[in-house]
Amino acid sequence: MKNITILGATGSIGDSTLSVVALHADKFSVFALSANTNWQKMQTLCEKFQPKIVVMSDQATAQQLSKVIDKNIQVLHGSEALNTIAAHDDTDFVMAAIVGAAGMASSLSAAKAGKRLMLANKESLVLAGDLMMQAVRDNGAELIPVDSEHSAIFQCLQSGKSGLNKIQLTASGGPFLHTPLNDLKSITPDEACAHPNWSMGRKISVDSATMMNKGLEVIEAHYLFNLPAENIDVIMHPQSIVHSSVYYNDGSTLSQLGNPDMRTVISYAMSYPDRVDSGVAALDLTQNSPLEFYPPDLEKFKCLQLAFDALKQGGNAMGTLNAANEIAVAHFLNNKIDFLEIPNIIEKTLNAIENISITSLESVIANDKLARKIALEAVQHYA
């Protein structure tokens, strides 16, 4: 029996993880759950899964939850509590599914404690990739990617990296794959969040629409598979059936295919090196539309190009990119800026901050704070 701690339990990844847990109650038990402020949904999860510890983001929601759940469940709040449950002696596996920079510290805590870290929070590697990978190596942690693309590459590389030429991440293209650039000027937040294949939160849905999500995945792939930007490729694949591919020097290409359902990836991360039933139907290619592939339009999807540029620049550039993107997306979702202003704000922020090396968590946090300040100033220019 493995004890699971889910950071970000009320989101879509949390839902899928708990769905797999429910299918295999003989193999997995929920030890701890965390959420932002949705105490009503957390109440339901507590009643069903009976965790030992629950963490909410603030004291008010923690107190509200404490009034309505079993008194034997310990309720904590704040970022330090997230670190506590991620590194707890009774935690075996950690699902890191908190969106954005807010999930970085707890992911790092899990790695330092030698846990199996099932990483759905790509920002942990974008902001502090060198620190994270060092913590994994130094403490004997297991880092298993939960993004469908990185899981696909991880699976394809199980036979080794001998002769590896490049890896290729697929991208659905989101809702605007075939939308002309000029038509994107008037896009609304609801339109940007209407992903054709995946059900996701609003922030990550916008990232998919701008292709920043894929850009962050390129950076994540750099750290996970120890490859330079030149050996990482992106291809548009609107059906989301081929999740990614690896190319070898002998001309061979290996790909991982499956229906677009995160339970497949999550069950693999939980059961690795074995496989268990995920509850996902088997892929039937005869019942699918033809599979299409296109090169990315880097003029329309400028965020993807900015991510490649930041990766090549190295140091704090990737953290700057992420911070500026979080600020820009938040203001777009609040109707303060236009959709096409998101990459402009990111580019202005990148150009304004000196490139330096990242050597500690403190330097990551300081750069993140500075980048957010400058991005906010750029937002005011457009707003």
Same domain, residue pair 157 and 300: yes
- Report the share of the chain in percent with pLDDT over 90: 84
State the binding site for NADPH: 10-13, 38, 121, 123, 201
Decide which of 257, 289, 312 is a domain's last residue. 312
Same domain, residue pair 156 and 16: no
State the binding site for Mn(2+): 147, 149, 217
Same domain, residue pair 175 and 307: yes
State the binding site: 10-13, 38, 121-123, 147-149, 172, 195, 201, 208, 213-214, 217
**What domain count does the chain have?**
3
State the binding site for 1-deoxy-D-xylulose 5-phosphate: 122, 148-149, 172, 195, 208, 213-214, 217
For the chain, which ranges sit under pLDDT 70?
A: 198-199, 383
Cα within 13 Å of Cα(357), Cβ side: 4
Give me the pLDDT at residue 316, please.
95
Same domain, residue pair 340 and 213: no
Burial call 250-281: b when 16+ CB within 10 Å, e when fewer: eeeebbbebebbbbbbbbbbbbbeeeeebebe
Domain range for 53: 2-145
Same domain, residue pair 256 and 331: no
Same domain, residue pair 192 and 83: no
Give me the pLDDT at residue 229, please.
95
Same domain, residue pair 91 and 217: no
CATH of residue 46's domain is 3.40.50.720
Give me the pLDDT at residue 199, please.
67
Same domain, residue pair 183 and 223: yes
CATH of residue 380's domain is 1.10.1740.10
Decide which of 145, 160, 183 is a domain's last residue. 145
pTM score, two decimals?
0.91
Same domain, residue pair 160 and 108: no
Same domain, residue pair 262 and 342: no
Decide which of 274, 293, 312 is a domain's last residue. 312
Same domain, residue pair 155 and 187: yes
